[in-house]
Amino acid sequence: MSDAAHLDFMRRAIALSRANIAQGGGPFGAVIVRGGEVVGEGANRVTASHDPTAHAEVVAIRDACRRLGTFSLDGCEIYTSCEPCPMCLSAIYWARLDRIWFANTKADAAAIDFDDHFIYDEFAKDPADRAIPMKGMLRDEALVAFRDWESAPDRIPY
């Protein structure tokens, strides 16, 4: 793909972020591309949809998966107006995107009160020491479902 195409896709992500501000949303946009064609787009919809997971990258992943009829976006790249937060980065890995292109950095986001440093710090802690307490229970009972899935002849690995 040409340098001009990469710039065009990033400019589209930035345009989505700016248009979203005009609609009362956050300043984030994302575009997913496969083979030089846009297959998914998204803007931050957290406040509009009352969904804390509706970040631009997640919205774009959902759009691309719906359009392509798949849960795997291997062969695709994402252009996002800002370096992905921990949730979005995880979603990008789960979706198996091939490459991430970003404009603003996480430091730029932190400077306007979108600071994810606390979450990065929490990941490094033992689960018992996190701000939201975590305690395991009923593992033996829950493992039955894992065994059922593992032995299911029609399971779809992902």
Q: Which residues are catalytic?
A: 57
Query: Rounded CA gap, 32 and 76, in Å?
Result: 7
Query: How would you classify the pairing of strands 76-82 and 29-34?
Result: antiparallel
Query: Rounded CA gap, 3 and 11, in Å?
Result: 12
- CB-count exposure of residue 8 (10 Å: 0-12, 13-18, 19+): middle
Angle between helices 86-95 and 56-68 (to 10 degrees): 20
Query: Rounded CA gap, 96 and 115, in Å?
Result: 25
